Chain A
Amino acid sequence: MRVLRLTWRQRSARIALAVLAVVAVLAVAGGAFAPDDPLAQHPADMLQGPSAAHLLGTDYLGRDVLSRLIAGTGLSIAGALEAVAAAMLLGVIPGVASVWLGRTVEWTTQRAADTLMIMPFTVFAIAVVGALGNGMHQAMLALGVLFAPLYFRVTRAAALGLKQAQYVEAAELMGASRWWILRTHVWGKILPTIAVTTAQTVGQALLVVSSLTFLGLGVQPPAPTWGGMLASDLGYLAQQPWAPLIPGAAIMITVGALNLLADAIRDSGAPTADELGKPPRAEGTAPALVTEDREPLNSPETQGRSANRATPSEDPELPSEDHANAAATVARTHIEQPEEAEHRVTTG
């Protein structure tokens, strides 16, 4: 894929991928790298600073912090990925369906997404955990449900533009099945958008997972997670003021790498300077995606716009303006999203 190729060409992306590779290895095989048993308590050595025996010191029960950090990678990352996978499943499919399956589906899915968007993260997670029992999967499923509207909107925004592309309409007139159109013309183009969203969302999910374990939801002690370690370290600031920085750094580096990657993917998906030179794209289309929900899809204005769009969109292999628009939407969504997530977490 062109976008992925372009992404790989960027240095920031390569750095981000290297960091994520290390994180992935630790997540999968963390236990093998941990120098000590992450659960072994040595109460006599509690709250010790870094030493040869414990490179990052010990926690409030005398457990080796480095080992816990490494062993906690898996649970922290798995939790974030679980939430994102659930969100993708619940967001992408209805997102595409809302464009292709008629007005009833469109209306219903949109209202459902609206409803989910007003739910506060932490409160919802607590409620789900209360109803289904306190466990990692329940909490992550709850998070996934709340992340779903993001995917829904982004996917829908990307697909909506394609629906009226002339080559799609042409394919429809030629008798192509809905499924064939989705596979051939749509899927490949909304994928980069979803990739950008995913990179961002995993970062957010990691933070929210951390804050959930911080609240005692999801993973239960003594299993280590980054968020859980951060939370317990805060109780011993007098003894070890620097201790929260360690799990904090792990979270920050991972989220940072994901954000770098997301930026890189977005940049690669965005039109090049050369393409931006072409006049019809710059005006009108981006707002169209923002306001799309309120406009009748077959209004003359929209149709006029899709006629305008026809030229650059013709070749399905080229990054079309729809990508650019979707990416712009994603970027916009993301400017709001972290704030929202943070807001939601603090209100819990």
Chain B
Amino acid sequence: MPKFRSPSTSEPSRRSPFEGADADSPRHDSLPALKALDRRSFLGLSLGAGATLALTACGGQSTSAAKSDGGTLKWGWALPTSWDPVTSSAGWDVHALSLVYAALTKLDPKGVAVPALAKSWKYNDDGTVVTFTLRSGETFSDGSPIDATAVKKSLERGRDYEKSLVAAQLIGVEKVTALDEHTIELRLAAPDFQIPALLAGKTGMIVNPKVLEKDAASLSTKPAGAGPYTLVSYVENSKAVLRRNPAYWDAGQIKTENFELHPLPEPSTVVAALQSGQYNVAQIPGSQVKAAKAAGLEVQVIPSMVVAVLDVHIGKKPFTDPDVALALKYAIDREELLKTAAFGYGEVTRQPFPSGYAGHDDALDKLFPYDPEKAKELLAKAGYADGLKITLSAQKAEGVPELIQAQLKKVGITATLEAIPSDQATQIVYIQRSKALYVDQFAGRDSATQAFQVLFGEEGLMNPGRTTSSELEKALDVVRRTPLDAPEYPEVLQKATGIAVRTMPNVFLYTVPRILARNPKVSEIPAYTVVQRFEGVTVS
């Protein structure tokens, strides 16, 4: 149900009388909200869905400092579950949130942490204390300064807020201290060299403490950060309108004045929507690449951290028997899934990291070859020689789940497909943990240990069994103690990957590259592996 929300309906009284005269601000600002009232939204209203409409959208930001070329980038991608980085419940949200928040660090195209709000950082020799030096003179989009106190408040909220979903990442941060205005020190419970990479994502996004103190609940629809853009208006499930933030520390690199973020387009209409100008950049499935190219659109296939995976709940029958869980790994023909469902875009994989990433070990891809006979043997050993009935859940039962169903049939597993409404999927699968087998995609994480935590950790969101192996925990401890630039880092990380792949039930299937189709008027999109960024992108 569309709900109309505007970031600033609660504060019209704060607007100074001068603002009305300032340029064409009110008129200009209300335009996107008006546009948002398309036919569907109107029909939505007519359904009497309790939609509330506010036309008085006002970003309140002067745009006089803009140095951009103008233009509007319309990205058909996904809207976040929440605009609050701490309560957002999907890993995927990091892309949208990176538009409105700046973090202490950011990841370069290869996934290495580089300076952002922090211009540098330094570890002590043990790896138990890390000190970040902030850029001076930076401000949030409302003008308040980004100093060490603000960073401290923001990080502590992520760690301590009871509804925080990033708390597990920050559990090792014992103490945050503002040494002076621009220096902040993180004292860790144990050596952990992953912190700078971790703080590039949602965990390290700095939220304006003024808003935190005043009205933290409003963050879910009104982000308060210091990112490349500020949110002008937001219609849930429909679109978010953003405007360039001249106060962003790297604003010189942000070339497009306006930005619109849209939900993931329908595969059947995405090419037409790109042609008509509804979007000028959009994520498309492999099946649409041919159509997009035929329509004169540019198509970029950007390697990403996303991996298709089968989540196995080992606390639920029949997967309580390790042989049944293992049989799945042999029963699935990953090549067929890749060729048929993904049209060959991506690579088959048995591990959570794509090739080229430090944690990827080529040797692991030789494990678990497609071997229906072996799967049958394992099932027979577990006492299911005569067959086995399971339920296979997915957000969309069509495609990959249908293929997996047919493949499982060949080893004697009769799977019933079950579709889960996508807006409840996280809740049902990962929080209530009520599904035994679920087809999903892992979005990747900013730091390697964070990825391990989410996939395999005791509190890992995507580990429905919520069990882990002590061997893996030990290996991860070594990973944390190894500086990212140390020569042995890839080796220790790969060792942990190996243990996870061998001991954990998750069935990794194939990598999912980010396929972006764009209007030729939009310049090339930089190929960031982890989080898509738009530095330097122009729209002519």
Contact = CB atoms under 8 A, between A and B. Distances in A.
A43 B339 contact: yes
Interface in A225-264: 232, 234-239
B289 to A, nearest CB: 8
B54 interface: no
A10 interface: no
B396 A347 contact: no
Main secondary structure of the interface of A (DSSP, over half): loop
A43 B291 contact: no
Contacts of A41: 402-403, 406
A152 interface: no
Contact of A220 (B40, B285, B397): B397
Contacts of A347: 40, 43-44, 46-47
Nearest to A120: B47
A236 B399 CA distance: 12
B35 interface: no
Query: Which of B47, B288, B291, B399 has most chain A Cβ within 10 Å?
Result: B47
Interface string A39-80: 101010010000000000000111000000000000000000
B340 interface: yes
Contact of B268 (A130, A134, A235): A235
Given A60-B287, A120-B47, A238-B287, A43 B267 contact: no
Contacts of A216: 396-397, 419
A46 B268 CA distance: 17
B398 interface: yes
A286 to B, nearest CB: 30
Interface string B401-436: 111011000000000111101000000000000000
B290 A239 contact: yes
A220 B146 CA distance: 52
B217 interface: no
A238 B43 contact: no
B65 interface: no
Given A43-B336, A237-B291, A347-B46, A220 B419 contact: yes
Contacts of A46: 340
A220 B398 CA distance: 9
Nearest to A62: B340
Contact of B399 (A60, A123, A130, A237): A60
A346 B43 contact: yes
A188 interface: no
Interface string A105-140: 000000000000000100100000010001000000
A316 interface: no
B443 interface: no
Contacts of A346: 40, 43
A35 interface: no
B294 interface: yes
A222 B403 CA distance: 9
Contacts of B399: 60-61
B343 to A, nearest CB: 9
A43 B403 contact: yes
Contact of B290 (A220, A222, A235, A238): A238
Nearest to B49: A123
Contacts of A39: 406
Contacts of B327: none
Nearest to B396: A216
Nearest to B268: A234
A82 to B, nearest CB: 20
B405 A222 contact: yes
B287 A61 contact: no
Given A60-B340, A347-B46, A221 B287 contact: no
A239 to B, nearest CB: 7
A181 B336 CA distance: 68
A238 B291 contact: yes
B271 interface: yes
A60 B268 CA distance: 13
B47 A235 contact: no
Contact of B294 (A62, A220, A236, A238): A238
Nearest to B289: A238
Interface of A: 39, 41, 43, 46, 60-62, 120, 123, 130, 134, 216, 220-222, 232, 234-239, 343, 346-347
18 contacts: A41-B402, A41-B403, A41-B406, A43-B336, A61-B406, A123-B47, A216-B396, A216-B397, A216-B419, A220-B418, A222-B406, A232-B398, A234-B268, A235-B287, A237-B291, A239-B290, A346-B40, A347-B43
Given A43-B336, A221-B397, 16 more contacts: A39-B406, A41-B403, A60-B399, A61-B340, A61-B399, A61-B406, A216-B396, A220-B417, A232-B398, A237-B268, A238-B287, A238-B291, A239-B287, A343-B43, A347-B40, A347-B47
Can you list the 7 inter-chain pairs with the closest CB atoms, starting with the nearest? Answer: A238-B291, A234-B268, A43-B340, A347-B43, A221-B397, A235-B267, A238-B290
